[in-house]
Amino acid sequence: MIAIIKYNAGNITSVKNAVERLGYACKVTDDRDEIAAADKVIFPGVGEASSAMNYLKDKELDKTIASLRQPVLGICLGLQLLCNYSEEGHTPCLGIFDTEVKKFPPLDIVPHMGWNNLYDTKGPLFDGFGKNDTVYFVHGYYAEICADTVATCHYILPFSAALQHENFYATQFHPEKSGDVGEKILKNFLELKK
């Protein structure tokens, strides 16, 4: 079973729909035992970092998430909350990825919204990813490039489009909204061996 973590951030329905389109059973849940027992966990989210972290702490989901040993996929805000710290609301986060989340300088339109290319893609999420393939982003904050970066994107400046550390995977873009290219990335995650 695939657990999709339910919390106070954003459009979780579209992640559920995408997983179901790929033929996998999934459950949207905030039950710690259910999450801990799942084959894979998706940690989605669109929203504000500090209120999302507060909510996770209230429900004690922060500890559950950090202790997961099965494959975990953070998406968008999920990626940012898996980093050390976010400038958004000056928020200490879960600290899986050794990097910080910063606000885009206002040198161009913010949020970074729309389809963009990826560079330096590596690792299992990007099996079959083509050089000219694009994915859909919507975000005003970005994770700095670090040792865990497995894909970069350039908008205003270069940033981490995807991160991986041990069993934790994360994408700043929305695979569930990135057409067939995104479905392939999601499928790559869902097919990961433990």
Partner 1 sequence: MLKKRIIPCLDVKDGRTVKGVNFVNIRDAGDAVELAQRYVDEGADELVFLDITATIEKRKTLTQLVEKIARRINIPFTVGGGINSLEDAKAIISAGADKVSINSAAVKHPELITEIAEQFGSQCVVLAIDTKYEDNEWKVYINSGKTPTPLLALSWAKEGEQRGAGEILLTSMNHDGTKKGFAIDITRQVSEAVNIPVIASGGAGTMEHFAEVFLQTKASAALAAGIFHYGEISIPELKAYLQTQHIEVR
Stretch that binds partner 1, among 27-35, 36-44, 45-53, 59-67 (CB under 8 A): 45-53
Q: Which of 6, 14, 54, 87 binds partner 1 (CB under 8 A)?
A: 14
Q: Which of residues 151-180 bind partner 1 (CB under 8 A)?
A: 154-155, 174, 176-180
Q: For the chain, first and last CA: distance in Å?
A: 13
- Do 55 and 43 meet the contact criterion of CB atoms below 8 Å apart? no
C-alpha angle with apex 120: 147 to 24, nearest 5 degrees? Answer: 90
Q: Which of 37, 66, 109, 157 binds partner 1 (CB under 8 A)?
A: 109
Residue closer to partner 1 (CB basis): 116 or 167: 116
Helix (H, G, I), strand (E, B) or coil at 177: helix
Q: Does the active-site annotation cover 139?
A: no
Residue closer to partner 1 (CB basis): 40 or 177: 177
Q: How many CB atoms lie within 10 A of CB 23?
A: 8
| List of E strands, the chain | 2-5, 26-29, 40-43, 72-75, 83-86, 91-92, 97-103, 112-117, 134-139, 141-143, 149-155, 157-165, 168-171
Q: Which of 4, 5, 7, 10 binds partner 1 (CB under 8 A)?
A: 10
Q: Does the active-site annotation cover 76?
A: yes
Q: Which of 26, 76, 83, 93 is catalytic?
A: 76
Report the interface residues with partner 1, using CB under 8 A: 10-11, 13-14, 17-18, 20-21, 46-48, 106, 109-117, 134, 136, 138-140, 154-155, 174, 176-180, 182-183
